[in-house]
């Protein structure tokens, strides 16, 4: 299969003409009166259903994803950001950490805002210093204050606030998207540590040295692999250990799931078995048995990118319509071609499932097809806080990160005067990174020479042209 990304992006543009009818409970914007190291009252507008957050490490991209995760009903930012002795959360004087987000309320027929703040609260008789809850509207945060009778008049309205939007959230951090095998092999607890401690204790107390079932990770993996093999052979989830089922899922991936995995990774998979289990000291770990026309292999021999993409695609395809999908650095372990095709898959899902996607990235391949209002570029201020540029050309976004080799937009003009005028217009741009992406060239022979000589060359070179013409 092939996906024409330009065509999919154009289709989404057309869908956005009736955005609030097509994308139910769409989140329109989020702003931060006080939130981590983001400049006070910074606002991000989600003008396009796919939004890319681009910026240097530690600039607040993941923080924005954490806030968005906690925006809908029954989700909490405290699941990812919580105070510890080493990293305490600092509040302003009488001013809690908080964010405000807009969403379309069908009953009201317009955009409303919900404020979520970190508050001190007791839950199940235990203090919870990281509880985030919707709070009343405040004019100090630039919110509209509505009369009490709105509670009875509009659904989604409480006495003094608009309730959080109700939507499913799919949050995938690609740095942690590992197979059950890799999680245990690289990060799991080594039985050898326990063996050493128990041997030393037995020797010091004069007791008999106990027999050990596993003395290292390899033996543990070999032992659990026997159980995994039984699960694979059974083709069901009936196998138990200590009275509990080992596997929660054991199925072949659907034709649709397999089709998109094959497309993104540019590899033809004949079959893939998806198993969610608790082996290898895991909890809901994933094992995938891939099968191509040449070979069959488990996730132990698969590339980490294969498992991450399979997990991403399975989660998104099976997400409810109108879900909010948050992806943290989806380019991890993916080569450039796969990154670009992943964007094609995401655009396809936005169109078919009317989902809203926000992702953080350091990859130019994931943003090259997106319109400028879909790219939010993070930058550091002199005081250490981070601001966000609301619209950014993809070339400019990566120039801000120091990538000066990124491509340029060539502007062809017909005489020296036109060249001077265009160059002066570029100088007037406030964004220096945007200035640097333009290269102005005038053609002797004028407009006719541009039309008859240069444009045919561009066509022959098949240059990617996603955001409008590169020559005029």
Q: Are residues 135 and 269 in the same domain?
A: no
What pLDDT does 71 receive? 97
Bridge partner list, 250: 275
Residue 385 falls inside a structural domain: yes
Bridge partner list, 325: 170, 357
Residue 311 falls inside a structural domain: no
What pLDDT does 370 receive? 94
Q: Are residues 259 and 338 in the same domain?
A: no
Residue 21, Cβ density class (10 Å: 0-12 exposed, 13-18 middle, ≥19 buried): exposed
The residue among 268, 301, 334 that closes a domain is: 301
The residue among 352, 370, 396 that closes a domain is: 396
Q: Are residues 257 and 385 in the same domain?
A: no
What pLDDT does 469 receive? 35
Residue 239 falls inside a structural domain: yes
Q: Are residues 200 and 155 in the same domain?
A: no
Q: Are residues 354 and 438 in the same domain?
A: no
The CATH number given to whatever domain includes residue 16 is 3.40.50
Q: Are residues 253 and 334 in the same domain?
A: no
Q: Are residues 21 and 127 in the same domain?
A: yes
What pLDDT does 459 receive? 57
Q: Are residues 17 and 102 in the same domain?
A: yes
Q: Are residues 111 and 134 in the same domain?
A: yes
Residue 326 falls inside a structural domain: yes
Residue 308 falls inside a structural domain: no
Distances in Å between the alpha carbon of 38 and those of 2, 50, 67, 113, 248? Answer: 40, 21, 12, 20, 40
Rounded to an integer, what distance in angstroms lies between the CA atom of residue 291 and that of residue 146?
Answer: 59
Residue 236 falls inside a structural domain: yes
pLDDT tens, per residue, the chain with 472 residues: 899 999 999 999 999 999 999 999 999 999 999 999 999 999 999 999 999 999 888 899 999 999 999 999 999 999 999 888 898 888 877 789 999 999 999 999 999 999 999 987 777 788 787 889 999 999 999 999 999 999 999 999 999 999 999 999 999 999 888 888 888 888 888 887 776 777 777 777 777 766 667 778 888 899 999 999 999 999 999 999 888 999 999 999 999 999 999 999 999 999 999 999 999 887 788 999 999 998 999 877 777 789 999 999 999 999 999 999 999 999 988 999 999 999 999 999 999 999 999 999 998 889 989 999 999 999 889 999 999 999 888 877 777 776 656 667 778 888 888 888 888 888 887 677 677 777 777 777 777 777 776 666 665 554 444 333 333 3
Residue 469 falls inside a structural domain: no
- Of 48, 46, 47, residue with least CA distance to 11: 48
What pLDDT does 260 receive? 97
Domain that holds residue 412: 408-461
Distances in Å between the alpha carbon of 225 and those of 8, 90, 207, 232, 250? Answer: 43, 47, 33, 10, 15
Rounded to an integer, what distance in angstroms lies between the CA atom of residue 352 and that of residue 350?
Answer: 6
What is the sign of the dihedral through the CA atoms of 339, 20, 75 and 120? positive
The encoded tokens of residue 23 equal 């994308």
Residue 310 falls inside a structural domain: no
The pTM (predicted TM-score) of the whole model is 0.84
Q: Are residues 161 and 95 in the same domain?
A: yes
Q: Are residues 65 and 46 in the same domain?
A: yes
What pLDDT does 405 receive? 61
Quote the number of domains for the chain: 3
């Amino acid at each position: 299969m092939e996906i024409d990304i330009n065509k999919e992006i154009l289709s989404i543009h057309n869908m956005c003409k009736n955005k609030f009818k097509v994308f139910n409970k769409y989140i329109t914007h989020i702003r931060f009166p006080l939130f981590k190291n983001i400049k006070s009252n910074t606002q991000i507008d989600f003008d396009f259903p796919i939004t890319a957050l681009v910026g240097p490490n530690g600039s607040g991209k993941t923080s924005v994803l954490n806030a968005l995760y906690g925006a809908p009903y029954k989700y909490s930012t405290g699941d990812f950001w919580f105070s510890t002795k080493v990293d305490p959360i600092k509040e302003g004087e009488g001013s809690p950490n908080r964010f405000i987000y807009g969403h379309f309320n069908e009953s009201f027929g317009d955009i409303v805002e919900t404020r979520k703040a970190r508050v001190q609260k007791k839950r199940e008789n235990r203090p919870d210093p990281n509880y985030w809850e919707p709070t009343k509207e405040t004019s100090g945060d630039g919110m509209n204050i509505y009369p009490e009778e709105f509670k009875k008049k509009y659904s989604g309205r409480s006495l003094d606030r608009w309730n959080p939007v109700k939507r499913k959230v799919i949050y995938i951090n690609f740095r942690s998207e590992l197979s059950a095998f890799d999680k245990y092999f690289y990060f799991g607890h080594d039985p050898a540590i326990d063996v050493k401690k128990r041997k030393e204790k037995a020797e010091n107390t004069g007791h008999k040295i106990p027999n050990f079932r596993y003395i290292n990770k390899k033996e543990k993996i070999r032992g659990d692999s026997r159980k995994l093999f039984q699960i694979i052979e059974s083709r069901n989830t009936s196998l138990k250990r200590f009275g509990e089922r080992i596997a929660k899922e054991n199925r072949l991936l659907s034709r649709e799931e397999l089709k998109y995995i094959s497309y993104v990774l540019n590899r033809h998979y004949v079959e893939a078995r998806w198993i969610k289990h608790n082996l290898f000291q895991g909890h809901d770990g994933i094992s995938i048995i891939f099968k191509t026309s040449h070979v069959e292999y488990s996730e132990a021999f698969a590339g980490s990118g294969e498992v991450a993409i399979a997990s991403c695609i399975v989660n998104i395809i099976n997400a409810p319509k109108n879900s909010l999908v948050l992806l943290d650095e989806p380019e991890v372990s993916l080569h450039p071609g796969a990154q670009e095709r992943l964007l094609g898959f995401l655009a396809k899902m936005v169109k078919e499932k009317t989902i809203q996607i926000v992702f953080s990235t350091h990859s130019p391949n994931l943003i090259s097809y997106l319109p400028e209002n879909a790219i939010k570029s993070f930058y550091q201020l002199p005081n250490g806080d981070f601001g966000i540029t609301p619209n950014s050309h993809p070339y400019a976004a990566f120039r801000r990160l120091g990538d000066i080799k990124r491509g340029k937009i060539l502007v062809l003009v017909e005489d020296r005067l036109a060249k001077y005028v265009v160059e002066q217009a570029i100088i007037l741009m406030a964004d220096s990174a945007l200035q640097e992406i333009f290269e102005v060239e005038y053609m002797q022979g004028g407009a006719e020479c541009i039309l008859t000589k240069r444009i045919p060359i561009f066509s022959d070179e098949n240059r990617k042209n996603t955001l409008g013409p590169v020559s005029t």
